[in-house]
């Protein structure tokens, strides 16, 4: 049975929602979390992530505070570098084409470190991203791309730990509890209509935090807002993020804002299921493409695979792949770089071909013009600038000359057998359009006023990301604004006790 009334109700049970619940519990005694899914697949998209957080750190001392079990021997063999506030601001501006809301961006950047330390004090454990964000060069791991820290156990570990911590703080989590609509009047929100295990009930609340994800799992909304063809995209994560939180807020006058035609979308295995599979997690992604060339059905390259570090391009290249004939591409590697491929290339459920000659390889590329593909590979090989040394830890400037679409970094000729190719399509992660909030995470209405008692965090917040996003910023934004929303909701509820 659901409690008929709570001080704070949080809609959702992912990273943003659970951070909101924990923050609210610092101020009030009764916090209820409504999770639409069954317990075993709870956690929204957060459970499907690798658990990476992009946060400010000014050196190894900051990392030691966040990761107290980081050993001196690990520090000795690692070049962690720094990720300053200025760099984070620069990255957010550059990848969003300077459309990111400046006030929300400032909260995200300046509160990232303190939020991570708060999560650590709550009991969340973090570790360096050894396997995916650092290459060992001359005996030392060098971290790159501003992304250094992940939750222990990845996304599943993050959700399991946050859930455990929430339960230890006497936060009630109700599963199979789908929030249907908000109850509101001129004085703000008063409660929700909820369908819990097939029965519809009405709940009272002093404050409500919406953190139920974007609309990426809703094919109709994808097509309406992102455009024709988006109903064909695979969904990387949960099937339960269908825009409910956004719609119920819009129904009571909330302001929509942000990049409604934009989303985070990546290269994803062409034959992956329509929605995420927790047995595979994020293993269907194929993020070693900067070392590859990508070829479409016509046999042509269509994008600069080495335009930037993977962290700054992977979230927009899914859209580019979706726009290709047949909505797919092949990533092609030779044996010089095959040992460098990320772990997701070695899973059992992978669409892969292998050959000892390029002539044999192109014949195995399903649905591709083989003659044109072979010519494209040979033209690319001739164009590689071999005067520059290949270095995966930096944007090395090893480029191509004279091609219609250049490769700006990490260009290596595809000439050392065996050769491998991996088929990818578009996997949508989350949508960028959503609800307008202020810096205290109040939901703003279409008259520019805060809706009393209503707060929002996570994917359903609009205005932070446009066109693209820096890797690891989704979880970080969820935690920062989840904490802000929960704190504000808890304080308001405490004043109405």
pLDDT digits (tens, 9 = 90+) for 120-163: 999 999 999 987 787 777 788 888 888 999 999 999 999 999 99
Asked if residue 243 belongs to a domain, the reply is no
Cα of first residue to Cα of last residue in the chain, in angstroms, is 23
455 and 408 in one domain?
Answer: no
Cβ atoms of residues 305 and 252 within 8 Å: no
| Same domain (yes/no): 305, 436 | no
Return the percentage of the chain with pLDDT > 70, whole number. Answer: 100
Q: Do residues 315 and 264 lie in contact, with contact meaning Cβ atoms separated by under 8 Å?
A: yes
Of 427, 451, 479, which one is at a domain's C-terminal end?
Answer: 427
- Residue 375 within a domain: yes
Residues 314 and 413 in one domain: yes
Per-residue model confidence (pLDDT) at position 298: 98
Domain match, 270 and 401 both: yes
Kindly tell me the sign of the dihedral angle through the C-alpha atoms of 476, 479, 480, 485: positive
Domain encompassing residue 442: 5-215+432-495
Q: What is the model's pLDDT at position 184?
A: 98
Environment class of residue 370 by beta-carbon count within 10 Å: exposed (0-12), middle (13-18) or buried (19+)? middle
pLDDT tens for residues 78-94?
Answer: 999 999 999 999 999 99
Of the candidate ranges 121-130, 143-152, 249-258, 431-440, the one whose mean pLDDT is the lowest: 143-152
**What are phi and psi for residue 231, nearest 5 degrees?**
-70, -15
Tell me the pLDDT of the chain averaged across its residues. 96
CATH number at residue 318: 3.90.700.10
Average pLDDT over residues 257-273: 98
Q: How many beta carbons lie within 10 A of that of residue 106, not counting itself? A: 15
- Per-residue confidence band for 49, with pLDDT thresholds at 50, 70 and 90: very high
- The domain tally of the chain equals 2
Question: Which pLDDT score is estimated for 2?
Answer: 94
CATH code assigned at 185: 3.50.50.60
Question: What one-character-per-residue DSSP string does 329-384 give?
Answer: EEEEE-TTTGGG--GGGGSSS--EEEESSHHHHHHHSTTS-HHHHHHHHHHHHHHB
Q: Would you say residue 204 has pLDDT above 90?
A: yes
414 and 488 assigned to the same domain: no
Q: What is the DSSP letter of 223?
A: I
Helix segments in 96-243, DSSP class H? 102-110, 112-122, 130-133, 154-168, 219-221
* Structural domain includes residue 77: yes
Position 371 scores a pLDDT of 98
From 427, 454, 470, the end of a domain falls on 427
Mean pLDDT of 310-318: 93
User: Mind listing the pLDDT tens digit for each residue in 325-376?
Assistant: 999 999 999 999 999 999 999 999 999 999 999 999 999 999 999 999 999 9
Give the Cα separation of 355 and 360 in Å (integer). 6
Q: Are residues 45 and 189 in the same domain?
A: yes
Q: Is residue 143 part of a domain?
A: yes
């Amino acid at each position: 049975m659901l409690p008929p009334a709570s001080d704070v109700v949080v809609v959702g049970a992912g990273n943003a929602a659970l951070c909101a619940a924990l923050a609210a519990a610092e101020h009030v005694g009764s916090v209820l979390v409504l999770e639409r899914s069954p317990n075993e697949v709870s956690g929204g998209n957060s459970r499907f992530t690798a658990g990476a957080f992009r946060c400010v750190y000014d050196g190894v001392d900051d990392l030691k505070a966040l990761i107290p079990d980081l050993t001196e021997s690990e520090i000795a063999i690692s070049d962690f570098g720094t990720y300053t506030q200025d760099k984070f601001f620069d990255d957010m501006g550059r990848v969003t084409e300077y459309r990111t809301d400046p006030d929300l961006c400032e909260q995200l950047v300046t509160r990232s470190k303190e939020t991570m330390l708060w999560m650590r004090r709550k009991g969340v454990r973090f570790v360096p991203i050894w396997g995916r964000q650092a290459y060992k060069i001359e005996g030392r791991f060098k971290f790159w791309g501003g992304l250094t820290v992940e939750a222990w156990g990845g996304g599943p570990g993050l959700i399991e730990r946050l859930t455990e911590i929430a339960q230890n703080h006497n936060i009630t989590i109700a599963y199979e509890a789908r929030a249907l609509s908000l109850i509101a009047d001129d004085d703000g929100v008063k409660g929700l209509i909820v369908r819990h295990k097939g029965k519809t009930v009405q709940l009272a609340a002093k404050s409500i935090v919406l953190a139920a994800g974007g609309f990426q799992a809703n094919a109709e909304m994808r097509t309406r807002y992102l455009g024709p063809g988006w109903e064909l995209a695979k969904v990387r994560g949960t099937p339960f993020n269908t825009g409910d939180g956004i719609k119920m807020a819009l129904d009571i006058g909330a302001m929509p804002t942000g990049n409604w035609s934009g989303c985070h979308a990546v290269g994803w295995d062409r034959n992956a299921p329509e929605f995420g599979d927790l047995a595979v997690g994020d293993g269907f992604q194929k993020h070693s493409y900067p070392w590859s060339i990508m070829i479409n059905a016509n046999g042509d390259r269509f994008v600069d695979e080495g335009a930037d570090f993977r962290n700054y391009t992977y979230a927009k290249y899914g859209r580019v792949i979706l726009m290709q004939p047949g909505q797919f591409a092949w990533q092609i590697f030779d044996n010089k770089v095959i040992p460098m491929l990320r772990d997701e290339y070695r899973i059992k459920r992978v669409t892969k071909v292998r050959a000892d000659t390029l002539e044999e390889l192109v014949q195995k590329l399903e649905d591709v013009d083989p003659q044109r593909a072979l010519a494209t590979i040979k033209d690319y090989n001739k164009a590689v600038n071999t005067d520059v040394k290949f270095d995966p830890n930096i944007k090395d400037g090893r480029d191509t000359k004279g091609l219609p679409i250049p490769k700006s970094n990490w260009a290596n000729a595809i000439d050392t057998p065996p050769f491998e190719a991996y088929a990818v399509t578009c996997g949508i992660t989350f949508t960028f359009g959503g609800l307008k909030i202020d810096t205290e995470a109040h939901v703003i209405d279409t008259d520019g006023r805060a809706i009393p008692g209503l707060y929002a965090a996570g994917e359903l917040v609009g205005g932070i990301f446009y066109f693209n996003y820096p890797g690891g910023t989704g979880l970080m934004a969820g935690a920062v604004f989840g904490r802000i929303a929960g704190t504000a909701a808890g304080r308001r509820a405490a004043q109405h006790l």
